[in-house]
Amino acid sequence: MSSAIYPSLKGRKVLITGGGSGIGAGLVEAFVKQGAQVSFIDLADTISEQLPAGAATFYKCDLTDIPALERTLAQIGTVDILLNNAANDDRHSLGDVTEAYFDNRIAVNLKHLLFCAKAVAPGMKANGGGAIINFGSISWHLGLPDLVLYETAKAGIEGMTRALARELGPDNIRVTTIIPGNVKTPRQMKWYTPEGERQIVEAQCLPGRIEPKHVAGLALFLASDDAELCTGHGYWIDAGWR
Ligand SMILES: NC(=O)c1ccc[n+]([C@@H]2O[C@H](COP(=O)([O-])OP(=O)(O)OC[C@H]3O[C@@H](n4cnc5c(N)ncnc54)[C@H](O)[C@@H]3O)[C@@H](O)[C@H]2O)c1
């Protein structure tokens, strides 16, 4: 299958959080293929071997450390497109939640998205616009088990998207949420047995497994000028899982 090339993405400055693995690595690869100038933040440099050396710039930073994140964002400078992708979906039940764990889960799944948006918005405004794409999740829409704090944060991301789209719209900054279904990544394969995978596919309308490249395809469109009037909403890539 041949994939779309968006002329408006060529040369654009793109920042991807959590670009070291999973969907984020797929995003790095996809935006590099568009000729964009890609930077990504992660805990470890695990850049895709598919990429030529130097194709994307890696910044090592713990996104839950907001002062360190702000220093990293200042180093990266102005960006045209921000993909707030990083998260952590460790399983937990209500009985396990302490105050410290609550704060930690909100820090890794919600807080940094807002501080990244806050840091890049003035530069986007000065450049005449930009796109911020937040990564939500189907999990809270389905009410999946053992993820109460992750789902709470992911629900918050959709609310934050709507609020920021309203606040930043006058500056021509578009803010959207991508809502993935179950995406086949190395980490996800830790949680799912072949039987579990089969159950997910059976609950989808389409029989295929979603891979990072499918999520990247939606992200490329939302980041491009072709999506110039798309803002304030969630866009699903879930093969019709319900
Ligand atoms: N894979 C799925 O099935 C699925 C489903 C729904 C939503 N999502 C969402 O899509 C996004 C990407 O998911 P994924 O499956 O690729 O996740 P992943 O766990 O495979 O990758 C997340 C990346 O973020 C990085 N990261 C995590 N915490 C960090 C921190 N504190 N500082 C810096 N980097 C950090 C990790 O090192 C990793 O490289 C997430 O927002 C996730 O919630 C994924």
> Which residue ranges have their beta carbon within 6 Å of ligand 1?
18, 20-24, 41-43, 62-64, 85-89, 108, 135, 137-138, 180, 182-183, 185, 187-188
pLDDT for res 138: 98
Give me the percent of the chain exceeding a pLDDT of 70: 98
Place of tokens 């470890």: 44
pLDDT, position 46? 66
How does residue 166 score in pLDDT terms, banded at 50, 70 and 90?
Answer: very high
H helix intervals, the chain:
22-33, 66-76, 99-106, 112-126, 139-142, 148-168, 188-191, 194-203, 212-223
By C-alpha distance, which of 207, 205, 233 is closest to 218? 233
Q: What is the mean pLDDT of residues 112-123?
A: 99
Which of these is catalytic: 6, 59, 101, 150?
150
Half-sphere exposure for 109 (CA within 13 Å, toward CB): 23
Using the 8-state DSSP alphabet, how is residue 209 labeled? P
Chain segment 7-32, per-residue pLDDT in tens: 999 999 999 999 999 999 999 999 99
For ligand 1, the distance from its centroid to the CA atom of residue 155, given in whole angstroms, is 16
Q: Residue 12 is inside which H or E element, if any? A: none
pLDDT score, position 39: 97
Residue-wise burial string across 64-103, b where 16 or more C-beta atoms lie within 10 A, e elsewhere: beeeebeebbeebeebbbbbbbbbebeebeeeeeeeeeee
Q: Which CATH architecture has domain 7-237?
A: 3-Layer(aba) Sandwich (3.40)
Q: How far is the C-alpha of 112 from the C-alpha of 99, rounded, in Å?
A: 19
Which of 65, 71, 85 is the best mutation target for the ligand 1 pocket, counting ligand atoms within 8 Å of the beta carbon and taking the most?
A: 85
Nearest atom within ligand 1 for CA of residue 154: 43
30-39 confidence digits (pLDDT tens): 999 999 999 9
Does the pLDDT of residue 41 top 80, yes or no?
A: yes
Domain ranges of the chain: 7-237
Share of the chain above pLDDT 90, in %: 91
